[in-house]
Structure formats: C-alpha cells, structure tokens
Structure 1
C-alpha cells in the first residue's frame, strides 16, 4: 500500500492534497485556496509559479478570506487569553458571576428589583460566554478552542472565524435563555466551542477527509452533554447547530455564490438568535 505523504510544515499530519505550484503536500492548516486548487503559504507569499505574478491574483482561504501575515492562530490565542483573564477576574471577585452570568430573571435583594435578560440586560448573553468558575471548566473549554480553533482560523480567515465563535456562542446563550429555568444561572464558552465543532465537521467533509475521528469526538461530546450533571445542554445544542449552519455557509456552498451564502448563513443565525430572545422576553414580561 502506498504511504500517504505528510504535510511539509506539519510532519505528523498526513494529507493527500498538494500545492498546485510547488507540489509540496499541505494539510488543512496550510491550505490556501487559489483560482485552481490550493497553494502553500510560501508560494502565496512569494507569488511564484508559472503564469502567475505576485499581484495578479491574490490567493485566499478556502472560505474566501484574505491571507494575513503574522501568527496564523492570533484570534484563537486572543480568545483564550480573554477567557483566562476573565476567569482570574472571577477568582478575585466572585460577584462577577452574579452580575454578568446568564439568567433570565431573578430578584436582586440589594437593588430591590428583578434583574436579568428579561429585564433588559441583554449583555448577559455575551458576557456569560467568557465566564468560568471552575478550573476544570475553563480548562476543558480552552483546550477545545485550541484544538478546533487553529485549523478553523487558518481555513476561514480571522474575521470569519471570529464571527463563527461569537455567533455560535450567542446562539447557545439564546437557546439556553429560551429553554432553561428562568431563575437558573448559566455560564461558559461551551456554546462557542460546540459551534467550532459543528464547523469542523463541515470543514472535514468539505476537504473529503476521514470523517470518523471528528464524528467520534462529536458523539462523545453529545453523550457528555446529556449524561453529565449540571451542564447547560441548550448552549451546546444551540452552538452546534449555529456552527454547522455558519460552517456550511462559509465553506460548504457553491464557490460562485460563496459571498451570498456566507451573508445568508450569518444573517439567519443572527436573526433567529434575536428572535428567540425577543420571544422569550415577551413571554416573561
């Protein structure tokens, strides 16, 4: 049996894709979509190759994003840094959980009034995505961001990747607000992480890679979601669905209609998220 070649930049990763210019084997982290096939980062930077010039046709990611210099995992590292910084802030001031966590409605004795998303504190849908109380909680979530985020950031580009993370997390928060007990607190980046997982499934299928490892990871996480106590399964499911929709819109649709499908997918997720929050708020008013 012929051995599958390994990526020239990541020897531990096997790949069947080669750069259309220099023919070096490249993995998803290194693939840059061009007018024909994929190119490696070196060929993209140099603009070398027969029939090409550096300024003739700027290669883009598989999602159509422009290639930027510097750290290919910059946004991933920033997101992890923000989550860890907020975790340290919570350790210093546990009251942040009460002030920024996701809660539909509760009575605040100190203020003598009801507070929560239903009371107009919609910012909790976003701030709760960066809150963690336990080391294991923030640890598992940040490992998920690190493992899934790097390849996605390379494939989508920074802006699309950040939109995927935030919109998936907000969708998870909205579904939690809709279905969870109104007085219960919820927090964590799990909705965003499941969004990255949903988009990863789409990416692996798009690149025609072996689906078994990513599907096994998905099944394992779903089992933990429904059989581990005190988990907001609503955030996981909401984030997963949003991530899959956004992933398909960014990389799964026809290339000639890529911009349309990306805006449509993003708009659909955002509109449904806002509609869910509005409907739930109206029901609690």
Structure 2
C-alpha cells in the first residue's frame, strides 16, 4: 500500500471545537475564527461567535441607564419591597401592639437619653395601631396607596438605589424634625411619603412637566396636616423638605462625575441629619418614669 500525499482528499484532519476537543466543529467564530461546536455557537449579527467573544463584546456595550443616571428599572422592586415591609410590620404590630410600638416608635426622649437610635428609622415603618381607634386603618392605607401610586414612577426615573436613598433619607428627615420639635411619640411612613411628594415636584420641574397638579397635591396634604388633630406636622414637613433637597441633588447633578456628585450629596445630607441629632437637644423633654401609652402616638 502507498500513503496519500498531504493535501489530497481524505488526508486533512477534521477540525474540533476549541472548548470541546472531542467534538467536530465545522463553524468558526466570526471574531476570533476558532472552530466552535453547536453548543458553543452564539448568534451574532453575522454568523456565530464563541462564548468568550460574546462576553468580551458585552463589556463594551453601554448599559441602559435611567434618566438621572441610575440603572434602568424594568420592575420597581424597591417600591414593592418597601410596601411589603410596611405591611408586614403592621401585621406584627397588630399582633403585639404594646410591645412593638413602645419599643420601635419614634420618640425624641428615648433617642436623646437612652440612645435608642434605631427609632429614627423603625418609627417610619410602623403605623397607628388598630386599637387606637379613630382613623387608624386609614393611616397605613393612605401611605401605602401613595407609595404604590408614585413610587414606581420615581424609581424608574431615579434608579432603584437612588430611589431607596431618597425614601430612607426622607424618613430620617421626618424623624429628625420630630426629634427637634415634638415631644409626642410618632409612627408612620408619612415623612418618607411626603419626601416622595417633594421629589415628584422636583423631578417634574427638571423634566419640564406641568407640576400644578403636584402643587395641589402637596398643598392639600399640608392643609390636612394642620387641620386634622393627631397628625405630626413635624414629621410631614421634615420629610417634605429633605425629599425635595435629596431629589434636587439627584436630578440637577452635572453629567460629568454625576454618580460621585449624587452619592456625595446624599452622604452630606445624611451627615447633617446625624449631626443635628447628636449635637442638638430635643425641643421638649419627656418624663421617663415609664413607657408612654401607645394610644397617644401620632402619625
């Protein structure tokens, strides 16, 4: 028998996949030209590419962003998470009203003298207990409806992380205002909700929308705040002011170094709020001979 000269039919080796050497590969990657088997073929604009070239190409693709620099939001998950946390907190509160509200409601004296700092945030996730009577149920219903109505739009405009920062700083702003100006125990997400009202106005102005409806919304709620007994105007207005300030930082940050400016601005607001609590005494001091009756909590 005589061997066939190189290059004649039947003598060339069948190419194999560079990732799976035991598999035949009759297709080459359009970018690197390495042979790839069917399992490694990735659709490209022309032909197929290998997994490594696809991953490398994705690195150079600009990720979708929200209007003001945050990541694009397909579903407002932060809004839904906040709704769930508030509702779950109210469920737990309903089961053990005295213990939960007394331990976690916002009250200036406990923050100042017992250093129960968590009250500055936890009070914003509680609401008037059913056992307090009056408009107790409407308290959480209105706040959750407002969060459901305007939260998703703001989250899509700002991005999830920035929206969460806005919500929490607004809640903290409301608590700090209560700390400085009120002796009454306070519960409710209203400070955060009013912060979203303020943000809705600022975002609308920045985008050139007609914001007269938002002005009416804010005005009506401010009137309600001062006309219905048992409402903490301090928490409402504190949240409104901080929400407007934080949203202004987020939407008016210059395009250059926008992320750094936005997060530095939010950090500055946080530091100012913390300093106000640490350096300033509460406006009215409470008597600490016992835990206040939760029936007197404001929203």
TM-score by length of 1: 0.72
Residue aligning to 1:176: 178
Matches within 5 A, 1:1-285: 55-69=60-74, 72-95=75-98, 96-105=100-109, 115-132=110-127, 133=129, 134-181=136-183, 184-281=184-281
Structure 2 CA distance, aligned partners of 1:157 and 1:151?
10
Where structure 2 has 5 or more consecutive residues not aligned to the other structure, the ranges are: 1-44, 46-56, 130-135, 287-299
Q: Which has the higher contact order (CA 8 A, sep 6+)?
A: 2
Structure 1 pair 214/99, CA: closer, same or farther in 2 (3 Å)? same
Structure 1 CA distance, aligned partners of 2:76 and 2:270?
25
Quote the RMSD (CA, aligned, Å). 2.1
CA contact (8 A) 2:123 2:186 kept: yes
Structure 2 CA distance, aligned partners of 1:190 and 1:205?
23
Structure 2 CA distance, aligned partners of 1:263 and 1:130?
24
TM-score by length of 2: 0.69
Q: Larger radius of gyration, structure 1 or 2? A: 2
- How many residues end up aligned between the 2 structures? 221
Where structure 1 has 5 or more consecutive residues not aligned to the other structure, the ranges are: 1-47, 106-114
1:118 Cα shift? Answer: 2.8
